[in-house]
Amino acid sequence: MIKALMSLWVSFVMLFVSFVPGYVAPENKNTSGKTYPYIFVHGFLGWGGDEGIDADFPYWGATSCHLISNLREEGYECYDASVGPLSSNWDRACELYAQLTGTRVDYGAAHSAKCNHLRYGRTYDEPLIENWGELDENGLMNKVNLIGHSFGGNTVRMLAALLADGSAEEIAATDPDDISPLFTGGKSDYINTVVAVCSPNNGSTMKYVLNNLKLIEPTLILVYTYVGVMGRSFANGYVDFHLEQFGLSEVPGEGDANQTIIKSIKTIMQQEYDNIAYDLSPDGAQAFNEKVDLKDDIYYFSYPFRTTFNVPLLNTEFPLPSTLAVLQLTAMAEGVYSVNLDTSYKLDKSWLPNDGLVNVVSASYPFGDAHKDYDPDNIETGIWNVMPLSRGDHGSAIGIGTDEESVMEFYNGMLTMIESLPVTS
């Protein structure tokens, strides 16, 4: 009884705690003075800096500030990329690579044939990062730091994995003179750090909750219909849907969707695995995790958030009052869902704590990967350095409903820590 009362008291105190990041940055061990650009990658339903909506409501910073602009003013070289807000992890990684290199998006001959969509997407005339993957005048590699929020964390992991290992399927299906360098491997030294903030490394149980309620398919049809209409209208470009490979939207400023909306929706709905719903499920995340591994020359960091508290007598999780209103119901739903009624994937009560969309156990590290708690005096490559749990929800991690000071403290701490890392060969 005493333990239960103490737990209840702690829970009551934490009811009024909002976004609380906290960790100690290590002393600077980067003696070379070499720094790398930061590439910020948005998550599900997000957008990048080249879309019109970002000027009115930036994804990074949201209601608190324009985070990318603020970080640039402080001397950091930062870019916020734009990839498909509803696309699969594979497609998003291909789009990110094309932006970074200033090339045409190549989804792969094998992948596009299997998934019944166009192999090539739009062309980026200028690289986001000049001389990426080349040696500088001191013989050091020009790398990038990849930072992904939510599903963006999965996307940067996918990009790092493809750069390092390539794709055996694409190599087998493509003429050597016609294959994208993304699929040939041998480029793990292009990446300095992979950072996953509130990322569903092991998927999210919200996929199961929605599926049990029979909401996945009708929601997708509704969303794709919206994309098909808006993606062919004057509003295309204000938000960029990046679904021209399915003919569902047009390339902003170019037009020419290649088939009817109904046909495009039928095509994309038939994709069992090339869609974001599958990739966000624990089953889809498990399939992805089994195909990728950690690289010895890359630093990995994960930043889990938690916006729920345990109710001892019920042994469930309830959202804090400070949780965004739009996430109250989802946080509560995930806080009681510990028995999977959807697939054979095993769950337990460790999945209950969450940030409103992503389970803490999923945001901490991919199952099966080497990991350890963050130690500022011993940051290693080739292992997930799991940062201390931040008190906040999925939105507060990017500045929704919180103040500029807290957001800047969080990201300044992150970038200061990354700048301190010894440069790898």
Q: How far from 91 is each of 60, 79, 105, 355, CA to CA, in Å?
A: 22, 20, 9, 26
Apex 277 CA angle, 401 and 402, nearest 5: 5
Question: In what helix (H) or strand (E) does residue 299 lie, and over which residues does it extend?
Answer: strand 299-303
CA distance 56 to 425: 41
Q: Are 88 and 276 in contact (CB under 8 A)?
A: yes
Beta strand 144-149 with 120-123: parallel, antiparallel or unpaired?
unpaired
For residue 106, the surrounding DSSP H or E stretch is strand 104-106
Instruction: Kindly report each contact of residues 233-240 with a partner whose C-beta sits within 8 Å and lies 24 or more positions away, as own/partner.
Output: 237/51, 237/52, 238/51, 238/52, 238/53, 239/47, 239/51, 239/52, 239/53, 239/85, 240/47, 240/48, 240/50, 240/51, 240/82
> Residue 144 forms beta bridges with which residues?
191
Compute CA distances 173 → 116, 119, 275, whole Å: 15, 12, 22
Q: Is 111 helix (H, G, I), strand (E, B) or coil?
A: helix
With beta carbons less than 8 A apart as the criterion, state whether 334 and 347 touch. no
Q: Say which residue the tokens 């061990």 belong to.
A: 29
Cα separation, 102 vs 132, in Å, equals 11
Q: Could you give the residue numbers annotated as active site?
A: 150, 355, 394
- Do the strands 104-106 and 316-319 form a parallel or antiparallel pair, or are they unpaired? unpaired
As a residue count, the chain comes to 425
Name the one residue in this structure whose structure tokens are 């054979």: 344
Cα→Cα distances 366→9, 125, 239, 370, Å:
33, 35, 31, 9
